[in-house]
Amino acid sequence: MGEPGVLTGEHGVLAGAHGVQTDGRSTVTGSTATTGSPRGTGLRLEDVVVEYPGLRSAPPTVAVAGASLTVAPGEVVALLGASGCGKSSLLRAVAGLEPVASGHVAWDGADMDGVPVHERGFGLMFQEGQLFAHLDVARNVEYGLRMQRVPRAARRARVEELLEVVGLPGSGRRAVATMSGGERQRVALARALAPQPQLLLLDEPLSALDRGLRERLAVDLRAALVATGTTALFVTHDHDEAFTVADRVAVMARGHLLQVAAPHDLWSAPASREVAEFLGYQAFLPGVDGPRAVGPSGLVLVGVEGAAASGTVVSSVFRRGRTEVTVDADLGDGMRRYSVVGTAPGAGSTSSEVSYAAGDVVGIAVDATQTVPLLGA
């Protein structure tokens, strides 16, 4: 998609409007000309509970069990969690598509309780984009603007600007049926951004795409949200996507928000073992100053002799220039299975030095640089 650039004209100068760092990760205190509400307090969720009625006399399913969260104007927050944790239910409750059993959803201090979906001024974007197949790109993108009765010339200018922002400049006349999945998602994003929603809600917008495309589009999605100053709440089960797109990531499990923090803070200071495990920390060992979580590359293969710990090889793969061995071991944290990495083989090393057979006994050491303190239990 390239550089989202600076939008000018009726929408003002937008890029960097948050006093952002080079990747656009911002302090989110600023405001921009494209968001509906340049000032204000943004989205506030207070103890939100979402329930689905049980069948016959069964108790209701509590999908969201009291979630509190704020999204500041211009901020992008990801709801990250495993399938079934309640993230879509929470997003739908914000949109007004699902009733809130208790608690509050407020925008700029105004309670949204009872406000119908179309009167909230929120934009929605879903997995498949849901474009109108019989309309060309420009007609799709300007759809919301027509609904708002924006005059034709302003609509055209806005469409052009947004196609630029999503990396499809000049493609307004293309038929959406001739576009790839990734291009369609870009069009869907432009369409969602066009009416300048005060809040954009995105439910797994990239998950229908293949991995490589998803990674590229995640970067572009962030760039587009930052360039347009859009406040966004974004649902995903993909860690990399959440870390790439969001200013802050809210980790969700069993209907609860376990921790809400900026990507780096989340990774370097997981609030609990549950969060750390979810992020991919694989071992939990005592350290000098208390317990430490060991990252995905934090256990290293060493000779058995003199090693602090040892285990039995379950399987071994050689990829990205190093050996990764799944080892069965008892490190005292109840995990049992660990991924232990070898160093890159030097010139002249033999295949037997980089491959391990099931049943081999190997030594395990901890690379202290790949550990972080574990704050909570």
Ligand X SMILES: Nc1ncnc2c1ncn2[C@@H]1O[C@H](COP(=O)(O)OP(=O)(O)OP(=O)(O)O)[C@@H](O)[C@H]1O
Between 101 and 300, CB nearer to ligand X: 101
Within 10 angstroms of residue 24's Cβ, the number of other Cβ atoms is 18
Task: Output the CA–CA distances (angstroms, integers) from residue 118 to 130, 147, 168, 272, 372, in the order listed.
Answer: 17, 11, 28, 39, 45
Residues 228 to 257: which contact ligand X by CB under 6 A? 237
State yes or no: residue 63 binds ligand X (CB under 6 A).
Answer: yes
Residues 13 to 52: which contact ligand X by CB under 6 A? 52
Choose, by CB under 6 A, the member of 24, 42, 81, 205 that binds ligand X.
81
State yes or no: residue 189 binds ligand X (CB under 6 A).
Answer: no
Between 207 and 326, CB nearer to ligand X: 207
Choose, by CB under 6 A, the member of 43, 85, 271, 372 that binds ligand X.
85
Q: Which stretch binds ligand X (CB under 6 A): 23-31, 69-77, 80-88, 174-182?
A: 80-88
Between 59 and 151, CB nearer to ligand X: 59
Check if the beta carbon of residue 186 is closer than 8 Å to that of residue 194: no
State yes or no: residue 155 binds ligand X (CB under 6 A).
Answer: no
Q: Which is nearest to 225 in space by CA: 198, 193, 249?
A: 193
State yes or no: residue 88 binds ligand X (CB under 6 A).
Answer: yes
Coil/strand/helix, residue 269: coil
Minimum Å distance from CB 199 to ligand X?
18
Within 10 angstroms of residue 105's Cβ, the number of other Cβ atoms is 22
Choose, by CB under 6 A, the member of 12, 30, 66, 84 that binds ligand X.
84
Minimum Å distance from CB 68 to ligand X?
17
Within 10 angstroms of residue 280's Cβ, the number of other Cβ atoms is 13
State yes or no: residue 124 binds ligand X (CB under 6 A).
Answer: no
Minimum Å distance from CB 174 to ligand X?
31
Between 166 and 235, CB nearer to ligand X: 235
- With both helix axes pointing from N to C terminus, report the angle between 211-227 and 181-193 in degrees, rounded to the nearest 10: 20
The tokens of 284 are what?
A: 């939990």
Buried b (16+ CB within 10 A) or exposed e, 25-46: bbebebbbbbbbbeebebbbbb
In degrees and rounded to multiples of 5, residue 21 shows phi and psi of: -80, 180
Q: Which is nearest to 116 in space by CA: 126, 129, 127, 105?
A: 105
Choose, by CB under 6 A, the member of 20, 37, 41, 61 that binds ligand X.
61
Give the interface with ligand X as residue ranges (CB under 6 A). Answer: 52, 61, 63, 81, 83-89, 237
